[in-house]
Amino acid sequence: MKKKANIDTSEKVIAIRGLKKSFGSLTVLRGVDLNIYKGENLVVLGRSGTGKSVLIKIISGLLKADEGSVKVLGEEVGELSPKELDALRLKIGFSFQNSALYDSMTVYENLEFPLIRNVRNLTRKEINVAIEEALEDVGLSQTIHQMPSQLSGGQRKRIGIARTLILKPEIMLYDEPTAGLDPITSGEINNLINQVQEQHNTTSIIITHDLTCAKTTGDRIAMLLDGQFQRQGSFEEVFASDEERVKQFYEYNFID
């Protein structure tokens, strides 16, 4: 069970109102409303194709919303200029489903990439220290000179998280952090997500359909059904529902 986090409910880090998004004739988000508070880990649950990843891509500005308002750290994402959006993105860490490590670069170069491009006047020594610290955070210092192709799935996920942590983000967005991993490695990733929240005081959105991940990492669970958040609350509150689809979701997951 997750330790109680230090959540400041007076400070909304992300505020979403009436968010709608369609792809051609397929509508995935049908008026989403959501608040995420400082220091909170929010888990978004839902079946594949329900728009969970679309939601965090809109928050990070990778996709544009059709309608509605998305405020991140007080700024309306859809109205920012490219320069302002880049400045906001430095405060957001995005951990991709497949890690998205740059294949042609070593682990060191992967971590160096966002740092040297966004933080000016760093000495080589400062860069090395930052990279070593980020790798220590995820427990993978020994992989520093390896290529992504030499790493296991779990290691790739961790390095992906380390790459986002190097810029010390205020918000972390995790897209299916445990997808495709064995239960033990999934457990390690879940612990890492909690460790990041504690050490860096980040606010996180965790997209998953793994209930173990949801229970271990989430301070609050929001369930996306029919393009809207229809159930929100603690893990127990959400799954106390009699609704067939929620029960099905629970029953198809193996959970203690």
Q: Does 100 bind other proteins (CB under 8 A)?
A: yes
Contacts with other proteins, 132-161, as mask; x by CB under 8 A: ------------------------------
- What residues between 33 and 62 interact with other proteins by CB under 8 A? 57, 60-62
Q: Does 102 bind other proteins (CB under 8 A)?
A: yes
Looking at 38, 89, 209, 220, which residue binds other proteins (CB under 8 A)?
A: 89
Question: Looking at beta carbons only, is 49 or 183 nearer to other proteins?
Answer: 49
Point out which span in 102-110, 177-185, 191-199, 220-228 binds other proteins (CB under 8 A). Answer: 102-110
Looking at 16, 28, 55, 94, which residue binds other proteins (CB under 8 A)?
A: 94
Contacts with other proteins, 165-194, as mask; x by CB under 8 A: --x---------------------------
Point out which span in 100-108, 137-145, 184-192, 237-245 binds other proteins (CB under 8 A). Answer: 100-108
Question: Looking at beta carbons only, is 137 or 219 nearer to other proteins?
Answer: 137
Kindly state the smallest distance separating residue 114's Cβ from other proteins, in Å.
4
Strands 220-225 and 203-208: unpaired
DSSP code string of the chain: -PPPP--EEEEEEEEEEEEEEEETTEEEEEEEEEEEEET-EEEEE--TTSSHHHHHHHHTTSS--SEEEEEETTEEGGG--HHHHHHHHTTEEEE-TT----TTS-HHHHHHHHHHHHSTT--HHHHHHHHHHHHHHTT-GGGTT--GGGS-HHHHHHHHHHHHHTT--SEEEEESTTTT--HHHHHHHHHHHHHHHHHH--EEEEEES-HHHHHHH-SEEEEEETTEEEEEESHHHHHT---HHHHHHHHTS---
Binding site residues, other proteins, CB under 8 A: 57, 60-62, 86-87, 89-90, 92, 94, 96-98, 100-104, 113-114, 117-118, 163-164, 167
